[in-house]
Structure formats: structure tokens, C-alpha cells
Structure 1
Amino acid sequence: MGQDKGKRPVSYEDIEALPPGWVGEIVAGELYASPRPAAGHLRASWKLGAFLATQIEEASTGPGGWWFRAEPELHFEPNVVVPDIAGWRRERVPEPSDPETPWLTAAPDWLCEVLSPSTRTVDRVRKMPLYHREGVQHAWLIDPVRRTLEVYGRGKNGWVRTALHGGNTVIREAPFEDVSLDLGRLWTPGPGGAAHP
């Protein structure tokens, strides 16, 4: 306890002081910094984001009613977090009209964290409870190494895992039940372009 006496509180300046290419987050008064993610993480996040943009946000025949951001900086004072992808229902939160807005304060209705070895514990243990406290309704956790997708719904006292999918399964999951997602498209192909077993 005596060691923490002289320790100054973590602030946004600590995030700004990180080396270029690092992502900083403040959760429960602690700074978490992580390097840019590996190829499997990037592919899963990019492919899911592209799917959501084309099949939901911009689709003329799709469900619509959503807008999405990749790696949005969310300020839930005093916490600063950066989920891999987040989505808001337009009926609840209109898309910001200022393209230079650097961060958002409205909790998303859905978000996704793509797990990496350096972020797995923070995402599960620190950030998921914070997302629940802030009112997020749906959360997905993707593990590109294990090739799994965990689906969580908001429960009264915490998250409830409603589904676990793996491999190349085609799914329809909350809150996007109106469209089919082929999980195989999220995974990094093996040597020669073949899908991993």
C-alpha cells in the first residue's frame, strides 16, 4: 500500500505518450497498452467489419438500422477503452455528424473483441464487466487462433453466454439474426490459401 502512495493517477496524457502504433486503454484506473495485433486478429476484425458494413449498415435489402466503427475510442469516465468493432442502433444513437470527433461517450448496443495473447485477460476480466456496467446489450468474443466465436447477451447481474461457435460454421446470432455469417471467412487461410483444419 505504501508503494502506491506516491503514484500519480493515470490520465489520457499517458495514452498520448505511448509509442506510435500502440493502443492504450484506461480501465479501473490502470493503463493497459498493447502493440498492434497479429495477422489472424487483423483478418478476423477486418472481415467481420466488412460483413457488417455491407450486409447490415449499407445494405439496401438488409436489416439496416445500425452504424459501426472499427476500433472506436470510448470514454466511460474515468475509463477509456477501444473495442475492435462496435455498433449502435440508429434509433437510439444517431451517427455523429462531426467527422473529426475523436472519441464517443455513448455506449454501443453491440461490440466485438478479437482476442490476442496480449489482450485476452484484459478483454475478458476487465473490459467485459465494464461494458456490462455501461449498458452494452450484446458482446461477441472472437478467438482467431482457436477459431471460435462466443456470443453474450446482457443478463441482470452480468453477461450470459448464449452460444459458442467454431470452425467454418454458418451462423445467425443476436443481434444480427436476419443475416447469415460464414465464420470460415474470418479465419486466416493456411499455406497455399487452404483453410486451416
Structure 2
Amino acid sequence: MEAAHYREHYTVDDYRLWEGDWELIDGVPLAMVPSPGITHQRLAGKIFTQLSGVLDDCPRCEALFEIDVEFSRDTVVRPDVLVLCQPPEGERLTRAPEWIFEILSPHTARRDEEAKFRLYCDEGVSHYVLVYPDARKAKVYRLVDGAYRKVGDFRDERHRFELPDCAVDFDFERLWDGNHAPAG
């Protein structure tokens, strides 16, 4: 067999043994390096904090961050922030969350805009939000009839997200308030 035709295929069991930060999509390992920068962490914190507050009145939904989602035996991703609206089965997430935020960097943009876009759509994630720190905007997509439809670009607007048991108003302007210039 020629080396060009040989492709390693890994599983969640392999993934659990690896050191460092990785994602696994369709059996292909993807390194998560370098680690997120300060701007990325600030945005993730603001997203998580806002979601935690607005979800206080939602009976089943909760915000989580930096947690692995095992979609299949050969696919594990770690979204920046997500909203889960059903109780997890144990300590690992094995079902699609309702809502995912990914904060893009030059190192992750293609993965988030292409591979994860298709993956989250195929897995039934109802709302997908791509956050662009340098542009200070977010693109919101909603799953409609098995495909993502762009809802819009948001900078300083509010948007209402319809979840199974509640509706959540998210204020995108709060992401940029007090943020320092993008540092990566």
C-alpha cells in the first residue's frame, strides 16, 4: 500500500490516551495549539457569564465551556461555549447541544467555518454562532429543515434564541464592552 493512500483512523478510545489538547473529527486528529489567547478567553468568559445569567429562569438549559462533545466513536470536539438543554448521560456529553459558540482565531477559522459547521449541522445543533474577535462581530446560524440558515451578523444588537423550553435574549454588544484591542 502506498503511503499516500494510507490514512490513520483514530477513535475516542485513542483520543482519551493522548496528552495535550486535541479534537478528533471523522477519525482525524486535530491539534488545538496554540492555546487560546487573552482576547479569546475574555470573549468566552463574557459569553458564558451572559448565558449563565439569562438561563437562570430556564428549567432545563445550562451553559458549559471547554467540554468535550463525543458525537461518535471517531469524533470528539471541544466547543468554546455551549448550551445543553437535556440532562447529560454521565460525565461526558454524547448528544448534540442546542447551541454552540466558537470564537475564531487565524489558527481555527477554517476548522470552525467548514469542518465544524458541517459537523454541527449534521449532528442537529440548533444554533451555531461564529464569533470574530478582530471584526467585533458574530454570525448566527439556525438549523432549519436539516441545513443551517444564516440569521444575520451581529455587533451591537440583541437576538432572541428559541430553545426547547425557553427563549433567550442574547446581547452581542456586551461581548465588546470593555474589551481591549484584539490580541489573538
TM-score, normalized by length of structure 2? 0.82
**Aligned in 2, Cα 1:44/1:17: closer, same or farther, shift over 3 Å?**
same
Within 1, Cα distance between the matches of 2:60 and 2:15? 36
3-state SS, counterpart of residue 174 of structure 1: strand
Query: Which structure 1 residue ranges, 5 or more long, are not aligned?
Result: none
Distance 1:125 1:15, change over 3 A: farther
Root-mean-square deviation over aligned CA pairs? 2.5
Q: Which has the higher strand share?
A: 2
Contact preservation (8 Å) 1:107, 1:136 = yes
Moved over 4 A (4+): 4-7, 176-180
Greater alpha carbon shift after TM alignment, 175-184 vs 153-162: 175-184
Query: How far does residue 29 in structure 1 lie from its aligned partner after superposition?
Result: 2.2
Counterpart residue type for residue 53 of structure 1? S
SS across alignment from 2:153: strand
1:95-121, CA deviations, whole angstroms, 9 ceiling, x for partnerless residues? 55x5xx1x2101111111111111110
- Equivalents in 2 of 1:18, 1:27: separation in Å? 17
- Is the counterpart of residue 170 in structure 1 residue 160 in structure 2? no
Secondary structure of the equivalent of 2:160?
Answer: coil
Residues 1:80 and 2:76 are matched in the alignment: yes
Q: Within 1, Cα distance between the matches of 2:28 and 2:168?
A: 38
Aligned to 1:2: 2
Give the aligned partner of residue 66 of structure 1: 61
1:31-46 mapped onto 2 (5 Å cutoff): 31-35=29-33, 36-46=35-45
- Native 8 Å contact 1:84 1:112 kept in 2: yes
Residues 40-68 of structure 1: per-residue CA shift (max 9 Å, x gap): 11111111101111121xx3xx4454112
Q: Figure out how many residues of one structure are paired with residues of the other and give that number.
A: 176
% identical aligned pairs: 25
Matched, 1:29 2:17: no
Q: Which residue number corresponds to residue 11 of structure 2?
A: 11
Any conservation in 1 of the 2:159–2:171 contact (CA below 8 Å)?
no
Flag the 1:16–1:183 CA change in 2: closer, same or farther, 3 A.
same
Q: Following the alignment from structure 2 to structure 1, what is the Cα–Cα distance between the partners of residues 88 and 7?
A: 39
Contact 2:162 2:168 in 1 (8 A): no
**Counterpart in 2 of 1:189?**
179
